[in-house]
Amino acid sequence: MGKIIFIDVDGTLVDYEGNLPRSAAEAIRRARKNGHRVYISTGRSKAEVYEDIWDIGLDGMIGGNGNYVEDHGHVVMHQLITEEQARRIVDWLHSRRLEFYLESNNGLFASENFEKAAEPAMREYSRRKGKLDAGKITVRQAFPDMIFGGELYRRDLNKVSYLLHSYQDFLDAREAFPDMENGTWGGAGETALFGDLGVKGITKANAIEHLLDYLGAKREDTAAFGDAKIDIPMLEYCAVGVAMGSGGREIKKIADYVTDDVDKGGLYKGFEHLGLI
């Protein structure tokens, strides 16, 4: 068995406009041809991993920031939010008038007023990521397969993301749901745009450990590529951690190697540096 490579998606494999650099796809295809295994490791649920990514050729995926592990179509591990937790979350968010969307492998399900309420936040998020037409983006463009008007009491949830009125909403959620993994995204600290709730104890590193056990593989044969704070446990767990040049300061600080920006052939250059291609 060759090396086992884990690649974050947004900001690492694709840019924040969702564009997949041709060089990144070529790097993965060449690495797999050379006998290495390649998995995406993402915050996205499976329903958000579109055909252009699968068409590259992958050995599997880690989804939901670590709650889901798949190898060649076989589900190795899938830890869901319980039905009771899901009901409590939906009811609590409704009571706070916080709009949200539910993330599952079967789709993204928006709350009643999410489409209108989330538009300013999505435009700000896009602006921060350098999207040229950030001021015009709609929620339906940001989430093309999102389901509006679907059932909100569900038993298939990986994560829940909710729109923040203020950082205090996240602090209150963390107090209300100590049995959940609480996080934010779209900005650091007070600049965060969204909060999220997931399965307690879930990380990309934990998911990698489950996959290695299943494969009978060794940690010393792993490498990880990422760009954001959520990727730090993955980079620290793997034998080699590579940060994208377009990534954040915190992940670059702990990385073994910093490659170029995602849209400047960063993934391909990182694969070359590690001798994968």
Beta-bridge partner residues of 226: 243
**Residues 131, 225 within the same domain:** no
Statement to judge: residues 87 and 73 lie in one domain: no
pLDDT of residue 187: 81
In this prediction, residue 96 carries a pLDDT of 97
Which CA distances in Å does 192 have to 70, 79, 201? 30, 26, 22
Structure tokens, 205? 């590193």
Structure tokens, 40 = 């995406």
Task: Note down the domain range covering 221.
Answer: 4-79+202-273
How far is 109 from 254, CA to CA, in rounded Å?
36
pTM: 0.87
193 and 90 within one domain: yes
Domain termination residue (choose one: 199, 225, 256): 199
Strands 107-110 and 157-163: unpaired
Which among 197, 194, 143, 159 has a CA at the least distance from the CA of 78? 159
Residue found under tokens 């539910």? 102
Q: Between 249 and 210, where is the model more confident? A: 210
Span 159-171, pLDDT tens digits: 999 999 999 999 9
The answer on 171 and 95 residing in a single domain is yes
**Domain shared by 48 and 135, yes or no:** no
> Does residue 45 share a domain with residue 21?
yes
Q: What is the pLDDT of residues 123-161, one digit of tens each?
A: 998 888 777 777 888 999 888 889 999 999 999 999 999
- Model confidence at 117, pLDDT cuts 50, 70, 90, reads very high
Report the CATH number at residue 171: 3.30.1240.10
**What's the CATH number where 221 sits?**
3.40.50.1000
For the stretch 80-116, what's the b/e string if a residue is b when 16 or more beta carbons lie within 10 angstroms of its beta carbon?
Answer: bbeeebbebbbebbeeeebbbbbbbbbbbbbbeebbe
d(CA 156, CA 77): 14
Tokens standing for residue 192:
């965060």
Identify the DSSP state of 113.
Answer: T
pLDDT band at 70 (very low <50, low <70, confident <90, very high): very high
Q: Which of 199, 228, 262 is the last residue of a domain?
A: 199
Q: 62 and 126 in one domain?
A: no
Average pLDDT, the chain: 94
Same domain, 248 and 176: no
Mean pLDDT of 173-200: 92
Residue at a domain's end among 199, 216, 245: 199
Instruction: Give yes or no: residues 106 and 191 share one domain.
Output: yes
What pLDDT is stored for residue 190 in this prediction? 86
- Residue among 225, 230, 224 at smallest CA distance from 196: 230
State the distance between the two ends of the chain, measured CA to CA, in whole angstroms: 15
Residue-level pLDDT at 229: 86
Domain count along the chain = 2
Q: Do 66 and 96 fall within a single domain?
A: no
Integer angstrom CA distances of residue 266 from 136, 141, 181, 201, 212: 28, 26, 31, 31, 26
Are 265 and 252 within one domain? yes
C-beta neighbour count of 146 within 10 angstroms: 18
209 in the same domain as 193: no
- Give dist(CA 183, CA 66) in Å, integer: 14
263-273 residue pLDDT tens: 999 999 999 99
* DSSP β-bridge partners for residue 243: 226, 258
